[in-house]
Amino acid sequence: MLKLTNLCAGYAGPRGKVLSNVALSVAAGTFVCVVGRNGVGKSTLLRTISGLQGPLMGEVSLNQVNLHEMTAQSRARLISVVTTDRISSPGLTARDVIELGRQPYTNWRGQLTQADKAAVENAMHRLNTKRFADKPLDGLSDGERQRVMISRALAQNADVMVLDEITAFLDLPGRVEVMSLLRRYAHTSEKIVLLSSHDLELSLELADQIWIVDDGKVVCGSATDKTVQNALSSAFDTSDVAYDPSRRQFKLKQASS
């Protein structure tokens, strides 16, 4: 169980608090989509959960262990992270990068065991990355690169996988494929997958739990919950578009001429 207890997240300084008193929990085997307008704090929340930045207050725990009190090495066995940040990887092939996902388990020489190699093969198979496994990462398209980074996180086999806007570089069939795969992975492997996305309709279609980040708070529930529907309207409705809960879609209030 991943639990956020009275979590305040943000940055140093008087105006640095982005989210206040976030309290929620997620069971193993849950696919969560985190949605919200630009700049509301999705990345800040996910970075805080991942341990990439400390909380201003409160706690993030996994199975009752505080994640911010662990070493980065121990945390890497529990949480994997995929972002859109470009990592510099001169000379590394896609396979080399995916193998780095096994680093929390390997010895000081980074030697892979049969189990490590099997985990890498399995990750490449799931994401269909084998076809460019031996190409340099720097020579891949943004979408191919993103698949490699997700494969690396899969190979890491952590209890929680956090993905921040990773579908941004994928085309529509690619987004559906990757999000469906992550949902299936959460269900079949009993993992928690947290994914932030601006693809609201797809998120509402696929997520077991939706987190709507808005106005310093997080509202959590299933897409059919009344509280979630109200929060979606309040976060996303504008003078031009409105959320239609019956179709789980946004519609133009008035077609422009």
Q: Does 40 bind ligand ATP (CB under 6 A)?
A: yes
Dist. CA 176–CA 73, nearest whole Å: 32
Q: Which stretch binds ligand ATP (CB under 6 A): 38-46, 95-103, 204-212, 218-226?
A: 38-46
Percent helix, strand, coil in the chain (nearest 5)?
Answer: 40, 25, 35
Dist. CA 257–CA 255, nearest whole Å: 6
Q: Where are the alpha helices (DSSP H) in 128-190?
A: 142-156, 172-189
Instruction: Choose which of 2, 4, 7, 18 interacts with ligand ATP (CB under 6 A).
Output: 18
Q: Does 146 bind ligand ATP (CB under 6 A)?
A: no
Q: Does 218 bind ligand ATP (CB under 6 A)?
A: no
Q: Which stretch binds ligand ATP (CB under 6 A): 33-41, 75-83, 151-159, 241-249?
A: 33-41
Instruction: Choose which of 42, 126, 183, 191 interacts with ligand ATP (CB under 6 A).
Output: 42
**Strand 160-164 to 79-82 pairing:** parallel
Q: For the residues of 238-249, what is the DSSP string, one character each?
A: -SSEEEETTTTE
Q: Which stretch binds ligand ATP (CB under 6 A): 36-44, 178-186, 231-239, 244-252?
A: 36-44
Q: Does 200 bind ligand ATP (CB under 6 A)?
A: no
Query: Can you state the angle between helices 142-156 and 172-189, rounded to 10 degrees?
Result: 0
Residue whose entry in the numeric block shows the structure tokens 């307008």: 37
Residues 29, 194 contacting (CB under 8 angstroms): no
Closer by beta carbon to ligand ATP, 53 or else 180: 53
Q: Does 44 bind ligand ATP (CB under 6 A)?
A: yes
Q: Does 14 bind ligand ATP (CB under 6 A)?
A: no
Q: Does 38 bind ligand ATP (CB under 6 A)?
A: yes
- Kindly state the number of chain residues that form the binding site for ligand ATP, as judged by CB under 6 A: 10
Instruction: Choose which of 4, 36, 75, 80 interacts with ligand ATP (CB under 6 A).
Output: 36
Side-chain-side CA neighbours of 256 within 13 Å: the count stands at 3
Closer by beta carbon to ligand ATP, 18 or else 62: 18
Q: Does 41 bind ligand ATP (CB under 6 A)?
A: yes
Q: Does 39 bind ligand ATP (CB under 6 A)?
A: yes
Residues in a beta bridge with 163:
82, 195
Q: Does 50 bind ligand ATP (CB under 6 A)?
A: no
Q: Which stretch binds ligand ATP (CB under 6 A): 42-50, 140-148, 230-238, 244-252?
A: 42-50
Measuring CA to CA, which residue among 43, 62, 61, 81 is closest to residue 7?
61
Dist. CA 32–CA 13, nearest whole Å: 30
Q: Does 1 bind ligand ATP (CB under 6 A)?
A: no
Residues found near ligand ATP in the complex (CB under 6 A): 11, 18, 36, 38-44
